[in-house]
Structure 1
Amino acid sequence: MAPEQIETVLEAATRGEVFAYFGYGSLVNRSTHRTEPFGAVRASVRGWRRRWQGRPEGGGEPISLLSVKPESDPDHQLAGLLVFDRLENLPALDQRECDYLRRRIEPGSIAMSVELEVDVPIYIYEGMPEDSRNTGHGILQSYLDAVLQGYLREYGPDAVRRFIAETHAFDNTPIFRDRDRPRYVRSVSLGEGEARLFDDALAAHGVEWRDMP
Structure 2
Amino acid sequence: MSDPFFFGYGSLVNRATHDFTDAHKARLLGWRRVWRHTALRPVAFLTAEPDPQSEIDGLIAHVPNDDWAALDEREHAYDRTRVTGQTRHGVTRPLHIQVYSIPQGKHGAPDRAHPVLLSYVDVVVQGYLHEYGEDGVAHFFETTAGWDAPILDDRAKPIYARHRPLTPHERALVDHWLRKVGARVTTRA
- Same fold flag (TM > 0.5): yes
Identity of matched residues, %? 34
Instruction: Give the strand-richer structure, 1 or 2.
Output: 2
Secondary structure of 1:194's aligned partner = helix
Cα pair distance change 1:49/1:88, threshold 3 Å: same
Match of 2:76 in 1: 98
Question: Deviation digits for residues 95-123 of structure 1, max 9, x if unmatched?
Answer: 000000011113x32111x3x22223211
Task: Answer yes or no: is the 8 Å Cα contact 1:66–1:127 preserved in 2.
Answer: no
Cα pair distance change 1:46/1:20, threshold 3 Å: same
How big is the alpha-carbon RMSD for the aligned residues of Structure 1 and Structure 2? Answer: 2.0
Match of 2:144 in 1: 167
One of 20, 30, 34 as aligned partner of 1:47: 30
Match of 1:118 in 2: 93
Task: Answer yes or no: is the 8 Å Cα contact 1:38–1:86 preserved in 2.
Answer: no
Report 1:133-148 matches (<5 A). 135-136=111-112, 137-148=114-125
Instruction: Pick the structure with greater CA Rg.
Output: 1
Task: Answer yes or no: is the 8 Å Cα contact 2:111–2:149 preserved in 1.
Answer: no
Cα pair distance change 1:167/1:92, threshold 3 Å: same
Matched letter for residue 110 of structure 1: T
Cα pair distance change 1:138/1:43, threshold 3 Å: same
Task: Answer yes or no: is the 8 Å Cα contact 2:4–2:66 preserved in 1.
Answer: no
Q: Could you state the TM-score of these two structures normalised by the residue count of structure 2?
A: 0.90
Matched letter for residue 117 of structure 1: T
Aligned length: 187
Task: Answer yes or no: is the 8 Å Cα contact 1:65–1:127 preserved in 2.
Answer: no
Alpha-carbon shift at residue 88 of structure 1 (Å): 4.9
Match of 1:7 in 2: none
Gaps of 5+ in 2: none
Secondary structure of 2:70's aligned partner = helix
Cα pair distance change 1:77/1:38, threshold 3 Å: same
In the TM superposition, structure 1's runs of 4+ consecutive aligned residues that sit over 6 Å from their partners are none
Alpha-carbon shift at residue 60 of structure 1 (Å): 4.8
Alpha-carbon shift at residue 144 of structure 1 (Å): 0.6
For 1:125 and 1:208, locate their aligned partners in 2 and report how far apart those are by CA, in whole Å: 27
